[in-house]
Amino acid sequence: MNILVCISKAPDTTSKIAFTNGDTQFDENGVQYIVNPYDEWYALVRALELKEAQGGNVTIITVGTPADDAVIRKALAIGADDAVRIDTPATDAYFTAMQIAEFAKGKGFDLILTGKETIDYNGSQVAGMLAEALELPFISVAAKLDVEGATVKAEREIVGGAQEVEVQMPVVISCAKGMAEQRIPNMRGIMAARTKPLNVVAPVALDALTTYSSYSMPAAKSSVKLIDPNNLDELVALLHNEAKVI
Amino acid sequence: MNLVYINSANGLSKAALETVTYAKKLGADVAVVTNGGADASVLASLGNYGASVVYQDSSLDGQDPSQLVKLVAAAAQKVSATTIIFSHDLIGKAVAPRLSVRLKAGLVAGAVALPEANGNVKVNVFSGKAFGFVQVNSATRIISLLPNSIQPEANSVSCLVEAFDSQAGASAITVKATKKPEGAIPLPEAERVVSAGRGLKGPENWGVVEDLATALGAATACSRPVADIGWRPHHEHVGQTGVAIRPNLYIAAGISGAIQHLAGVNGSKVIVVINTDAEAPFFKAADYGIVGDAFEVLPRFTEAVKRFKAAQH
């Protein structure tokens, strides 16, 4: 089984979020980048489990600059066989997805996995875009994934519940919690990652469809109003008269 | 014309009414395209929110996004849509990105407000810790609207319902089983949510949470550890790795408020936190706080809500 796992860098969850250049750019000063958790914990680890059980190859791919190689090496240390970096800054989701689609076309990947979203832009866009560009079926936000022969058996989230579905490979799947458990790379994996192939591929020329023109921070919360635990009528009155939510 | 996709297979959801309201507020006439076999009278009621026409393909059950993208693309072509609106729910997340590629139309995913005067659209970024303003560079734009970002608003126009054959072909996805509790308020659509964490000490203690939720007409939710140990179903888990919600009122009992939990609820308009630990980080994100034992506070809260409701009548 030939599996392609799309990974993205993302700022560590505890990073301070700030903007620079007149609030038009994310301030990367002091930000530690990690592999986007949905891509790593669920998509990549499940791909490795499937490969270990059934044989095959796991390739990771990202769209980015040489600065992203550290994040790629981390994903290789967890166990991917080889890596591809499309050598251009990832602008919007469309640009990113079309670069990956261009690379993946005709390479015979049976499964193309992504995380359900990145924790920075939260768009949940790249997987669906890839599926359309490659004319493949798409299972969005899957929490379980198994493969029997050429059939994918997955469980996907639906509003208020879950659904077991089947589809024939090849297929694009975005992966969510439940699919696998995080793996911590060991020393052997980290050493091996240094010599695994990282193929740098030139991008194709195309324009982004969207641009982030600026950013803003939410208004600071006023400090919490403490209520006497013996006077819940006061809380209900405040929720009605002041907050107007009941 | 503006085009809205809704899934009406299970009737009209609040999210569907929000998207029609949003499209109407953009200014142009609104067409709706939908799958499923809802009654024409039900679909015609979308006229109350500003829809002039509803195109219905009752042959599609809505399970395969590659069929739905063909449905929406065919309708977009029919009405020469300039803006196409989805709800940023699980179906919107599956279909809108496909449509973006198919039409080469820029997608604003997870809008939280109407476009600004310059056309840029506000979205949540960094898991709700900041906002971004997205400019669309293509002639046609697609916007998926985060549920509970605007309220449905009456704007009556006469509404035609027409059968529509999208010629979407066969479904590639076979549904084997659906697990969905009947009658529950879907969490992303709930206006009020009562949530609890490990502080409740065990699944058998959830009665106090459910009682308050019932009194308030709220949905119930839980923290990640509670879903992980299996005290509550996974679809109730709110937070970074679970569902992100933005209700008007979020009440959290026995949840400390780790950054990953806050990422799923920080879009809530009003947050009430109940915790025995006055130093719990959640109090910093709360509007109202009660330092106290959930087992005592929740039943008193429920009684106070009942007294308030009785006094209203």
CATH number at residue B288: 3.40.50.1220
For residue B27, what are the domain limits?
Answer: 2-163
Q: Does residue B101 sit in the same domain as residue B212?
A: no
In single-letter form, the type of residue at position B110 comes to G
C-alpha distances in Å from residue A119, one per residue of A34, A123, B40, B170, B192: 11, 9, 41, 34, 25
Contact B222, B232 (CB under 8 A): yes
> Nearest CA to B262 among A168, A231, A22, A14?
A14
Q: Does residue B194 sit in the same domain as residue B150?
A: no
Q: Does residue B148 sit in the same domain as residue B204?
A: no
- Is A163 in Cβ contact with B177 (below 8 Å)? yes
Give a yes or no: residue B182 inside a domain: no
Give a yes or no: residue B96 inside a domain: yes
> Nearest CA to B210 among B177, B173, B253?
B253
Name the residue ranges covered by the structural domains of chain A. 2-219
The strand pair at B174-179 and A161-168 is best described as antiparallel
> A38 in the Ramachandran plot: left (φ > 0), alpha (ψ -120 to 50) or beta?
alpha
Tell whether the model's pLDDT for residue B237 goes beyond 80.
yes
Q: Which helix (H) or strand (E) holds A225?
A: strand A225-226
Q: How many CB atoms sit inside 10 A of residue B43's CB? A: 24
Tell whether the model's pLDDT for residue A130 goes beyond 90.
yes
Q: How far is residue A42's CA from residue A145's CA, in Å, rounded to a whole number?
A: 10
pLDDT digits (tens, 9 = 90+) for B107-117: 999 999 999 99
Mean pLDDT value of segment B237-254: 94
> Nearest CA to A19 among B280, B278, B131?
B131
Q: How far is residue B31's CA from residue B33's CA, in Å, rounded to a whole number?
A: 7
Tell whether the model's pLDDT for residue B313 goes beyond 90.
no
Q: Does residue B31 sit in the same domain as residue B123?
A: yes
- Which of A38, A166, A245 faces B176 most closely, judged by CB atoms? A166
Q: Does residue B202 sit in the same domain as residue B66?
A: no
Contact B242, B224 (CB under 8 A): yes
Say yes or no: B269 contacts chain A, CB-CB below 8 A.
Answer: yes
The total domain count for chain B is: 2
Residue A155 — pLDDT band, cuts 50, 70, 90? very high
Identify the residue among B87, B101, B211 best suited for mutation to test binding to A, counting A beta carbons within 10 A and taking the highest: B101
Q: What is the pTM of this model?
A: 0.94
Q: ipTM above 0.85?
A: yes
- The answer to whether the bond into B97 is cis (omega within 30° of 0) is no
Q: Under CATH, to which class is A2-219 assigned? A: alpha beta
Tell whether the model's pLDDT for residue A86 goes beyond 80.
yes
Q: How far is residue B279's CA from residue B163's CA, in Å, rounded to a whole number?
A: 59
Q: Does residue B40 sit in the same domain as residue B119?
A: yes
Q: Does residue B38 sit in the same domain as residue B158?
A: yes
Question: What separation, in Å, do the N-terminal and C-terminal C-alpha atoms of chain B show?
Answer: 44
Q: Does residue B148 sit in the same domain as residue B259?
A: no
Q: What is the DSSP string of chain B?
A: -EEEEEE-BTB--HHHHHHHHHHHHTSS-EEEEEES---HHHHHGGGGGTEEEEEEETT--S--HHHHHHHHHHHHHHHT-SEEEEESSHHHHHHHHHHHHHHT-EEEEEE-SPPPTTS-EEEEETTTTEEEEEEE-SSSEEEEEPTTSS---------EEEE--------S-EEEEEE--SSPPPGGG-SEEEEE-GGG-SGGGTHHHHHHHHHHT-EEEE-HHHHHTTSS-GGGBBSSSSB----SEEEEES----HHHHHHHTT-SEEEEEES-TT-GGGGG-SEEEES-HHHHHHHHHHHHHHHHHHH-
Residue A222 — pLDDT band, cuts 50, 70, 90? confident
- Which of B178, B286, B305 faces A163 most closely, judged by CB atoms? B178
Give a yes or no: residue B171 inside a domain: no
Smallest Cα distance from A196 to chain B, Å: 30
Mean pLDDT value of segment B304-308: 97
- Looking at chain B, the whole-number percentage of residues with pLDDT higher than 70 is 99
Residue A159 — pLDDT band, cuts 50, 70, 90? confident
Mean pLDDT value of segment A151-161: 92
Q: Does residue B199 sit in the same domain as residue B153?
A: no
**Cα dihedral across residues A18, A22, A28, A29: positive or negative:** negative
Which chain A residue's Cα is nearest to B271?
Answer: A224
Q: How far is residue B286's CA from residue B270's CA, in Å, rounded to a whole number?
A: 8
Smallest Cα distance from A166 to chain B, Å: 5
Contact B223, B237 (CB under 8 A): yes
Q: How many CB atoms sit inside 10 A of residue A21's CB? A: 9
The two three-digit tokens of residue A89, written as one number: 């800054």
Contact A169, A108 (CB under 8 A): no
Q: Which helix (H) or strand (E) holds A201?
A: strand A198-201
A166, burial (CB in 10 Å: exposed 0-12, middle 13-18, buried 19+):
middle
Give a yes or no: residue B179 inside a domain: no
β-pair partners for A142: A156, A175
- Which of A207, A224, A229 faces B283 most closely, judged by CB atoms? A224
Across all residues in chain A, what is the average pLDDT?
A: 96
* Ranges of H-type helices in chain A: 37, 45-54, 69-78, 93-104, 126-134, 187-193, 232-241
Mean pLDDT value of segment B223-246: 92
pLDDT digits (tens, 9 = 90+) for B119-172: 999 999 998 899 999 999 999 999 999 999 999 999 999 999 999 999 999 999
Identify the residue among A8, A125, A155, A244 best suited for mutation to test binding to B, counting B beta carbons within 10 A and taking the highest: A125
Identify the residue among A95, A129, A155, A159 best suited for mutation to test binding to B, counting B beta carbons within 10 A and taking the highest: A159
Smallest Cα distance from A104 to chain B, Å: 16
Helices and strands in chain A, H and E counts: 7, 15
- Which of A125, A157, A235 faces B304 most closely, judged by CB atoms? A235
Smallest Cα distance from A46 to chain B, Å: 16
- Is B304 in Cβ contact with A236 (below 8 Å)? yes
Which chain A residue's Cα is nearest to B305?
Answer: A236
Q: How many CB pairs under 8 A join A and B?
A: 269
Q: Does residue B128 sit in the same domain as residue B210?
A: no
pLDDT digits (tens, 9 = 90+) for B5-39: 999 988 899 999 999 999 999 999 999 999 999 99
Give a yes or no: residue B134 inside a domain: yes
Q: How far is residue B145's CA from residue B111's CA, in Å, rounded to a whole number?
A: 5
Which chain B residue's Cα is nearest to A98?
Answer: B101
pLDDT digits (tens, 9 = 90+) for B57-112: 999 999 999 999 999 999 999 999 999 999 999 999 999 999 999 999 999 999 99
Tell whether the model's pLDDT for residue A36 goes beyond 90.
yes
- Is B184 in Cβ contact with A229 (below 8 Å)? no
Q: What is the 3-state secondary structure (H, E, C) of A116-162?
A: CCCCCCCCCCHHHHHHHHHCCCEEEEEEEEEEECCEEEEEEEECCEE
| pLDDT at res. B63 | 95
**Cα dihedral across residues B271, B273, B278, B282: positive or negative:** negative
- Is A224 in Cβ contact with B300 (below 8 Å)? no
| pLDDT at res. B183 | 66
Q: How far is residue B1's CA from residue B138's CA, in Å, rounded to a whole number?
A: 16
Q: Does residue B71 sit in the same domain as residue B125?
A: yes
